[in-house]
Amino acid sequence: MTKASLLIFQMFFLPVLLSAKPQDYVAGRVLDEDGHELQGVTVEVIAKDSVVQVIKTGPTGQFALRHLPKTSFYLRFSDDYHLGEEIRGHLPSNLIIHLRKSMQAESTSVNTMAFDIEPTSIDSMTENVKVEAAWNRWIDNDDLTAVNTMQVGSYYTIHFDLAGIDYSRLANSSNTVSAVPDESLSSLLKDPKARQRMVVVKPFVETSAASISFGREGALPYMIDLDKIRKTAENLKQIDDRQDLRAISAVLAAVQIPIIVHAETPGCAQIGLAIWDGALRHPLDILRTAVDVTTGNSTSAFACGTDSSIKPLSSGIVQTLLSTSNVPKADAGLFFFEFATTTGEIVNTAMFIGPDYQVLSWQPTQALTSLLFSDDASSVGRQIQAARCKRLDSCVENFGPIAKMFSDVLFSDKNIDGEKAATAARKALEQLTARVGNAPTILMRFTDREGNTRPLPFGLLKLGPKLLGDASTILQPLPIPRYDADSVCISNWKNFIPSSLGGDDIVPDNYLQIKDSPTFPVLRKWSQLRDYLNETNHPTSQGEGLLLVAHHGAGFIRFEPTSSDFFYANDIKHDYAPGSVAVIGACSTAALTPLNKDLPFVTALNKHGIDAMIVAPFEVSAPLASRFAIHFFESVAAAREKHETPNLSELFEMARLATRRELSMAPFLDELAEFSLLGNANIKLCQ
């Protein structure tokens, strides 16, 4: 075997003490000294005075280096970091590296250590193989050839295997990536008395520019063969280095989960699996992976944020759900999954991750789709519509009873243990929102039965005396989530605010009066909005802001409700650069009523490049929508004048605070909790 030296280039004379282990790759995560993931840290492989491989750590700090040179090499990290602690023991396939910010006064040193880096042949592994459960992911095309990228117009199968070995340790498995199962799943696999474990798998899709169609929908049951894991060493003797991944999987996999996808448009396709126990009571693991979808041209760029065509596989409930790059750190997370079982039953599951990272799960007593989407008078949407003020001087809205009903259903379970978990989660959220100081940030998400992400009016949940939207900052993903626009800012805004929305009986015209400037103008004419949305443009590298006040319903927008001038969401042609945002002060922009269930306006803007939005999920009063949008405009204008660079989350809070302070908005303040922040909340204004 050839020997190779691994040199860790670091700051501050901290030794790296590692012993040799046969392999030709290293993968892992880079964390700071507090254990937080570091995205965007450069990792270089240097051999013979040349950089032979360069990658950047991904959203969870992950990196994977393959085909390491058969000669001396070393790893070098970004110059502004150094290793923060000693590394001892074997060089594992999953290496956790803790880095600290370097100080200018600190000196540098280099430590070296010899390693065997040849790929491990199957024959050499059978004698002393260490059985460790691992998720393995690979992709093959219609010809059953393993690939790392997908081309538009073709069908592929993404394979997720659970086995007793990391396939990437095998010499003929260069097209696979692996991850360690969550402890919740690992503990079940270690039960010495069990031979099988049933799990329920729900695929979900997160696409960035690429649209992925699953060949299967809903929830699928799978049986894990625990004996396959226990007999890994014995089963390795049945295969050889010439067999492909399908043949290896057939022998080694304890469970095989194939997902059929269709690559439809270029970009980054992100696929996930939610793994639950057979009773859909306890989450066991969350997997997420990314795949580049190209046009097949040699010049096609990788869209998933790394230089390598092989994208890592992330696993772990807490790590995968709460580790979203470029968003403010979440204090807690609340996630809902809707399952359509093979028997046709609709089952909803809820999962809460608290500040202590404890995971609580339960099954709400009513399906969220019927609770929210139904046209029945008892649905949340219809009750809110009935409770809304019809005139400025006729009532003061009280959404308290509706919000309590909404909360009581979401935090409920017919099962005693599930009810205890739901109650504990609700209490934890109440305590979190009651704390003194900055409002907590809560990451929330609903995945429907088809595996699509849908924004919900979580701000209307009643926790203690307040609505959740008034006591916290709620972050929800867009249907197509993108969080990689970390180096752009917004300087160019298009502000469409008409002089009238149909007369004083709908919105007083004086509510729409605003002071603009030549450098930050307001566009009043319908023709200007129509031409803008109908424009076939070539977006620049600069993020763009869209502020729109209009009437909206079923995907159509108008300045006046009875006007024949309208624009349909699916006819939008205007494309947006990464880091673009939209703030929509309109009725029912993201509405969950039957005609608007597919969120046509939100989805259309998202597909055309918008990375973050502020919208109202249910129909809101036109005066409130208008004044909120006006206050957002004023917040942006004031920041620009002062050369300040607040992010979207901060601007959202400024606009909400200004709206609350406006006396004429007093009747509508409960509705203000409906406005939702979707997508990348960290996008900033330019100086």
**Which pLDDT does position 117 carry in this prediction?**
36
Q: How far is CA 670 from CA 386, 430, 635, 687, in A?
A: 14, 18, 21, 34
- For residue 350, is pLDDT > 80? yes
Mean pLDDT of 601-630: 86
Residue 336 DSSP SS3: strand
Please tell me which of 368-382, 556-570, 633-647 the model is most confident about, judged by mean pLDDT: 633-647
Tokens representing residue 48 in the block: 């013979």
Task: State residue 26's pLDDT score.
Answer: 61
Per-residue model confidence (pLDDT) at position 19: 29
Looking at residue 125, what is its pLDDT?
52
In CATH, the number for domain 489-685 is 3.40.50.1460
N- to C-terminal Cα separation, the chain: 57
- Beta carbons of 592 and 658 less than 8 angstroms apart: no
**What pLDDT shows up at residue 601?**
82
Higher pLDDT, 154 or 175: 154
DSSP state letters, 78-136: -TTEEE-S-EEEE--SEEEEEEEEPPTT--EEEEEEEEE-SPBPHHHHTTTPPP--EEE
User: What band does 14 get if pLDDT is binned at 50, 70 and 90?
Assistant: very low
- Are 430 and 464 within 8 A, CB to CB? yes
**What pLDDT, on the 0 to 100 scale, is given for residue 13?**
25
pLDDT at residue 533, as a whole number: 93
Q: At residue 244, does pLDDT exceed 50?
A: yes
CB 94 within 8 A of CB 28: yes
Topology (CATH level 3) of domain 3-116: Immunoglobulin-like (2.60.40)
Mean pLDDT of 138-152: 86
pLDDT of residue 390: 53
**Averaged over 558-583, what is the pLDDT?**
88
- 252-266, 285-299, 350-364, range with the lowest pLDDT: 285-299
**Residue bearing the bigger pLDDT, 230 or 299:** 230
pLDDT class for 591, splitting at 50, 70, 90?
A: very low
pLDDT at 22 over 60: no
Could you give the CA distance from residue 512 to residue 518 in angstroms, rounded to a whole number?
18
Map tokens 């063969």 to a residue: 225
Residue 6: its pLDDT value, please?
29
- Locate tokens 């990348």: which residue? 680
Asked if pLDDT for residue 595 goes beyond 70, the answer is: no
Residue 279 one-letter amino acid? A
Residue type at 410 in one-letter notation = L
Q: Do domains 3-116 and 122-315 have the same CATH topology?
A: yes
Alpha-carbon distance of 55 to 141, in angstroms, equals: 26
Q: Return the pLDDT at 252.
A: 92
Q: What is the mean pLDDT of residues 645-657?
A: 92
Topology adopted by domain 122-315: Immunoglobulin-like (2.60.40)
Nearest to 588 by CA among 486, 472, 455, 420: 455
Statement: residue 587 has pLDDT above 70: no
Rounded to an integer, what distance in angstroms lies between the CA atom of residue 217 and that of residue 619? 30
At 334, is the secondary structure helix, strand, or coil?
strand
Give the pLDDT band (50/70/90) at residue 324: low
pLDDT at 681 over 90: no
Quote the pLDDT of residue 592: 45
Secondary structure of residue 205 in the 3-state scheme? strand
On whether the CB atoms of residues 611 and 605 are closer than 8 A, the answer is: no
pTM above threshold 0.85: no
Least confident of 88-97, 374-383, 384-393: 88-97
Which are the contacts of 438, defined by CB distance < 8 A and separation ≥ 6? none
% of the chain exceeding 90 in pLDDT: 23
Helix (H) and strand (E) counts for the chain?
A: 16, 38
Say what the pLDDT of residue 134 is: 92
Q: Tell me what percent of the residues of the chain surpass a pLDDT of 70.
A: 73
Question: DSSP of 452-475, one letter per residue?
Answer: -B----GGG-EETTEEHHHHSEEE
Rounded to the nearest integer, the mean pLDDT of the chain is 77
Higher-scoring residue by pLDDT: 567, 554: 567
pLDDT value for 90: 38
Could you read off the pLDDT of 477-524 as tens digits, one per residue?
Answer: 887 777 765 567 898 999 999 988 887 777 888 888 888 787 889 999
From CA 425, how far away is CA 117, in angstroms rounded? 48
**Cα separation, 109 vs 23, whole angstroms:** 26
The total number of residues shown for the chain amounts to: 687
Query: Which has the minimum average pLDDT: 73-87, 128-142, 246-260, 578-592?
Result: 73-87
- Average confidence (pLDDT) over 291-320: 72
Which of 295, 309, 299, 297 lies closest to 152 in space, CA to CA? 295
Which of 628, 595, 636 is closest to 469 using CA atoms?
A: 628
State pLDDT tens for residues 53-101: 777 776 666 666 655 665 556 667 665 555 544 333 334 444 555 555 5
Contacts of 642 (CB under 8 A, 6+ apart): none
Nearest by Cα to 627 from 587, 672, 659: 659
Q: Which of 43-52, 116-125, 502-511, 540-549 has the lowest mean pLDDT?
A: 116-125
Q: What is the pLDDT of residue 122?
A: 52
Residue 428 is predicted with a pLDDT of 93
The CA distance from 235 to 243, in Å, is 14
Nearest Cα residue to 533 out of 542, 544, 541, 520: 544
Closest CA to 278 of 196, 364, 217: 196
Task: Output the six-digit token pair for 364.
Answer: 């709400």
Q: What is the model's pLDDT at position 80?
A: 58
- Of the listed ranges 74-78, 214-218, 529-533, the least confidently predicted one is 214-218
